[in-house]
Structure formats: structure tokens, C-alpha cells
A and B are shown apart, each in its own frame.
Chain A
Amino acid sequence: MPEKSSTVSEDTLASLERGLDALTTEVADRRPWWRRGLGTVVPPLCAVAFLLAVWQALVMAKVKPDYLLPSPAQVWASVSEQWNLGALPRAIWLSVSRGLFGFAVSVAVATPLGLLVARVRVVRAAIGSLLSGLQTLPSVAWVPAAILWFGLSPMTIFVVVLLGAVPSIANGMVAGIDQIQPLHLRVGRVLGARGLTAARHIVLPAALPGYLAGLKQGWAFSWRSLMAAELIAQSPRLGTGLGQLMDTGRELTDMSLVFGMIVVILLVGVAIDQLIFTPLERVTLRRRGLAQA
């Protein structure tokens, strides 16, 4: 031990530090889980109840005749009829599996593309602005071209989904990498991370929040594009997805069915977002202290 002894003894310093740590650390939210859950579940349920009430009120005020504005009960009856017939489960399965498959292919294409745009200056200069520009193009605009290229085949639908989702996901990746704090890259260099090691331990994890936001948006675009394509492209070869089922409702002037399908499409899109992407995003952000518990 050098003569330059510490001013306070070992034990005093240790307890001093522990006291300071206790004082400066925040206490976690100790409300029971169901109380915290209540706070997130009740408000949206109230909002839905309110919308249903407004809808019912409009029906009762007879703003439009009931074949143009069916009541919630009529829509419910129509949806449960389709469900019992088995047409609705089949349509949901067909659309969801198409949507998720198209989304998965989009992820596989967009991820390396995003990495390339973010890291290679020439590539960014060449297609960077094109990629963000493509995001503003409604993917339904691709439907006529896709039909001419691929006919009324599943390929048409996949191409439209792909063109809708890839720009969002790739842009998310680019944004995620652009938003990395320079300090974190510097730390990586100090610790000795270079090239691929740096990519694996620093760049990719640091870019994850932006990437996840891109995935979330990519799913929304996939689902939207899919519905646009299904509504326009009608053929026995394509089977009956949710879009086609809705179009059947239009042909039969069955407003309850059309309304029901709008609600189902909305619910499926929201459900997948809430079951897969939102939890993933929330866990990631919360771990980094970027979101409230």
C-alpha cells in the first residue's frame, strides 16, 4: 500500500457509496400488474364503445336507409354468418398467410438493401432519395402494371406487397444506422471493435430501434398493399381473400358484408401489429430506457 492512503477507511467509503447509490437510484413502479394493465386496456375500450354508440345513434337517426348504413348488430350478424359458413376463416387465413409471406420476403430483401444504402456512400447517393420517394407512392399504383406483367396470378399480389413494404423496411434500417450515437461507435473503437466485429456488437444492436420501427411500418404497408391488390385483382386462381370477399359484398350490394370486412381487415392488421411488432418494439425501447413502462 502506498503512503497516499485514502482519506476515509475502506468500510466508510463502501457504505458511503452504497448510501449514495440508494439515494440516486429510482424506485420501480410498484403498482400490481393488473392495475397497470387496466390503465392501458380501459381507455381504448371506452373509445371503441363510444364509436359504436355514435354509429348506433346515426343508424337510429336514419341518416341513410339501412341498406346503405347497416347497424352494428346487422354487421355482426353478417360477419358471424360468414364465419359459420367457413368463408371468413378461409379468407382470413389466405390473406394473413399471403401478407406474412410477402412481408417475410420483403424483410429478406430490404435488410441488406438498407445496410448497403446506409453504409456505402455511392449506393446512398444513387438510390437513397429514390428509396424514400418510393415510400410516398401508394402501392395500389403498382397493381395495373403488375397485372399486365404477371397476369392474375399470386405473383402479382406478392409483387405489389413487396413494392409496398421494401422501401419502408429499408428506410427504417437506414434511419436506425443514421441515428447511432457517434459516442457508441467511438466506444467500440476504444474497446477494439473493427469491421464485422463492430457491425455485430455495436452497429446492428444500436440500429435496432430504427429497424424495428421500419418493420412495424413495413407490416402496415404490406397489409395495405395486399388489400389493394386483392380488391382489384379478381380471379378464381387467386382464391378468396378478405379483399375479394369484400368485393363480393359490393357486387351483391350487401353493405353489412362490406362493413364487416372493413372491420375484419382493420382488426387483423391491428392484431398482428399489437401481437408481434408492438411488444417487440416496447421491450427493445424499455430495455434502453427510451419508453415508459
Chain B
Amino acid sequence: MTLTDIAPDAVAAKTDAPAVRVDGLVKRFGRGPLVLDGVSLEVSAGEFVCLLGASGCGKSTLLSLLAGLDRPTSGTVTVTGGRAGLMFQEPALLPWLTASRNVELALRLADGSARGARSWAARRERRAEALRLLAVVRLENAADKRPHELSGGMRQRVALARALAQRPRVLLMDEPFAALDAITRDVLHEELSRLWAETGVTVVFVTHNVREAVRLGERVLLMSSKPGRIVEEYVVDIDGERRIESPDVAALSIQITERLRAEIRRHA
């Protein structure tokens, strides 16, 4: 990827400060064991980074800290561009709202207590913006459907549109496709790659699926478990087409899996 290909403001940000910066991050809950032990990482603006690890590596905890939902025990977390967008493994759509209304609520809350946020004009504007965002994930025809009327993949796309509605510089994703069937997951990989390429948003993607990490990321950070540390970094240097079945993806996946297994065997 060349610099000129990214959105102009992302280029500016890239030369200035990283989009995400984590320094010596330590987290423990109450008097429990260490969950994260001295995690440091930097993510450039417009980069796609995958955090990979087995259960108990604290990847979800790390993401919660990045999202500002929790406070670190020590160390610092800096995310530029204000609030980060967050997607969970569950779509977590509000069941009493239609797809469009779910997105509109995110827009409404992003506006905060701005004056005129409740006016009819503002509402119409939010509706139009929500439809535009739903069109980005190709769900403009499902705007007035309720979550229970949508399939798992469609719900997750609405959740993606809702996360984008927060106009985040950084999109945090916590195993968002783990609960989907393989065909849908594959299509959503394409969709996410396309979206990332078009918007220049920074993505931090948490997964326990090695191939998924290699399929999507520019960089894969491997984490150890109990306590969580970053033990290895892989730059995914695959040109052109990249699919979950690509030999290049498979080759790197084997290498990472070996390292991951070695890490897990330490706990035997």
C-alpha cells in the first residue's frame, strides 16, 4: 500500500502520531491474576492490525481498554480521533429498533447534547445518513426490518454500519465473525477488506482464528496467555489477491500456528 492511496487526513495522521498507542499496559481485575502484563503496541493510522491469541490471552480485555470501557491498572492507552467504534462477537443490535433506527441512534448519541439534535431537520438528516451507511454494507433494502428479521450476517453488517456511524478513526473488532457460518464469514471478510480500503479507517481486529488474521491483517500480533503479552509480530507481505484459501495465507498461517502452539504447550 502506498501513502497516496489512503485518505488525505489519514496520511497526515500517519506522519504525525500513531492512531493507537499503548505503553506498558498492565491490567488485573481486583486482586485476581494479571490479565495483561506490560503490553506495548503502536498502530499507524489507516493500518489493519490483527491481535491473535488463544483463550485467556486478554485480547478482549485489551480491546475494552482501547475502547475506554475500562481503566488500565497501570500504563497508558492513547487512541487518536476521540471515541473508537467497537464491534462485538454478537451484533448487539437493540431489538426494539429497526436496522435504520439502530444506526440513527448511534448518530444521535454521537451528536451528544448538541443543540437542535432533536429537531425534525436533524432527524431527517440522521435518517438519510443511516440509509447511506446501510447502503455501504448493502443493506439499504433492509433499513426498516427489525433485527430478528435479519440473518446473522445481515445483523453483523448493520452492527458494522452502526460502528461506522460513530465516525471513528479507529474501528475495534472483537471476533465479530466468530459466530457466523463459513460462507457468510468469507463474504464478510471481502466486505471488510473493501470497506477498509475505501474508508482508510484504522482497524484493530481481535481473533483466535489464525487464517482469518492472516487473510485480513497487514500485521498480526501474537499474544501469549495468562498473563497476556505480545510475543511475536508478523508482517503479512502478500501482494494482490488474498483469500482464506490462498497458498501464501496458508504458509504464513502454518508458521504462526506453530508458534501459537508452542506458546500453549508452555502451560501444559
* From B69, B109, B162, contact of A186 by CB (8 A): B69
Which residues of A have CB within 8 Å of B152? 24
Determine if A14 is an interface residue (Cβ-Cβ < 8 Å): yes
CB distance from B207 to the nearest CB of A (A): 18
Determine if A189 is an interface residue (Cβ-Cβ < 8 Å): yes
CB atoms of B86 and A17 under 8 A apart: no
With known contacts A187-B92, A289-B95, A18–B138 Cβ distance under 8 A: yes
With known contacts A14-B138, A21-B142, A192-B112, A3–B1 Cβ distance under 8 A: yes
Which residues of B have CB within 8 Å of A8? 190
Q: With contacts defined as CB atoms under 8 Å apart, how many contacts are there between chain A and chain B in the complex?
A: 113
With known contacts A13-B191, A192-B112, A20–B153 Cβ distance under 8 A: yes
- Render B140-177 as a binary contact track against A, CB cut-off 8 A, 1 for contact: 00100011111111100000001000100000000000
* From A13, A24, A187, A290, contact of B154 by CB (8 A): A24
Closest B residue, CB atoms, query A183: B92
Which residues of B have CB within 8 Å of A21? 139, 142, 151, 153-154
CB atoms of B94 and A202 under 8 A apart: yes
Chain A binder among B13-21, B22-30, B238-246, B252-260: B238-246
CB atoms of A208 and B92 under 8 A apart: no
With known contacts A2-B197, A13-B187, A205–B149 Cβ distance under 8 A: no
Closest A residue, CB atoms, query B113: A197
With known contacts A26-B149, A191-B109, A7–B243 Cβ distance under 8 A: yes
CB atoms of A20 and B184 under 8 A apart: yes
With known contacts A13-B190, A25-B149, A4–B105 Cβ distance under 8 A: no
With known contacts A7-B241, A13-B190, A287–B96 Cβ distance under 8 A: yes
Which residues of A have CB within 8 Å of B187? 13, 16-17, 20
* From A4, A16, A186, A205, contact of B1 by CB (8 A): A4
Closest A residue, CB atoms, query B172: A190
CB distance from A195 to the nearest CB of B (A): 11
CB atoms of B149 and A183 under 8 A apart: no
Determine if B265 is an interface residue (Cβ-Cβ < 8 Å): no
Determine if B51 is an interface residue (Cβ-Cβ < 8 Å): no
With known contacts A13-B187, A189-B69, A191-B109, A184–B94 Cβ distance under 8 A: yes
Chain B, interface residues (CB within 8 Å), range: 35 or more
Closest A residue, CB atoms, query B112: A192
CB atoms of A201 and B105 under 8 A apart: yes
CA distance A233 to B112 in the complex (A): 55
Determine if A6 is an interface residue (Cβ-Cβ < 8 Å): yes
CA distance A86 to B111 in the complex (A): 60
Which residues of A have CB within 8 Å of B151? 20-21, 24-25
Chain A, interface residues (CB within 8 Å), range: 35 or more
With known contacts A206-B96, A208-B96, A2–B6 Cβ distance under 8 A: yes
CB distance from B209 to the nearest CB of A (A): 18
With known contacts A1-B197, A187-B92, A289-B95, A192–B147 Cβ distance under 8 A: no
Q: Which of A17, A190, A205, A206 has the most CB of B within 10 A?
A: A190
CB distance from B27 to the nearest CB of A (A): 18
CB atoms of B241 and A201 under 8 A apart: no
Closest B residue, CB atoms, query A209: B96
- Render A181-224 as a binary contact track against B, CB cut-off 8 A, 1 for contact: 00110110111110001000110011010000000000000000
Which residues of B have CB within 8 Å of A30? none
CA distance A190 to B241 in the complex (A): 34
* From A191, A288, A289, contact of B105 by CB (8 A): A191
- Render B92-114 as a binary contact track against A, CB cut-off 8 A, 1 for contact: 10111100000001101110100
Q: Which of A3, A4, A21, A201 has the most CB of B within 10 A?
A: A4
Determine if B90 is an interface residue (Cβ-Cβ < 8 Å): yes
Q: Which of B14-52 contact A (CB under 8 A)?
A: none
Determine if A5 is an interface residue (Cβ-Cβ < 8 Å): yes
CA distance A274 to B176 in the complex (A): 42
Closest A residue, CB atoms, query B137: A17
CA distance A183 to B96 in the complex (A): 14
* From A7, A10, A192, A289, contact of B148 by CB (8 A): A289
With known contacts A6-B190, A197-B109, A25–B153 Cβ distance under 8 A: no
**Closest 7 A-B residue pairs measured CB to CB?**
A289-B148, A24-B151, A288-B95, A2-B1, A192-B109, A191-B109, A2-B5
20 further A-B contacts with Cβ under 8 Å, apart from A1-B5, A191-B105, A191-B106, are A2-B1, A2-B5, A3-B5, A10-B194, A13-B194, A14-B138, A24-B151, A183-B88, A184-B92, A184-B94, A191-B110, A192-B110, A192-B166, A201-B105, A284-B96, A288-B96, A288-B148, A289-B146, A289-B147, A289-B149
A-B CB contact pairs (8 Å), 22 listed: A1-B197, A2-B1, A2-B2, A2-B6, A2-B197, A4-B197, A6-B193, A6-B194, A21-B151, A24-B153, A24-B154, A183-B92, A186-B88, A187-B92, A191-B109, A192-B166, A201-B109, A202-B94, A206-B96, A287-B146, A288-B148, A289-B95
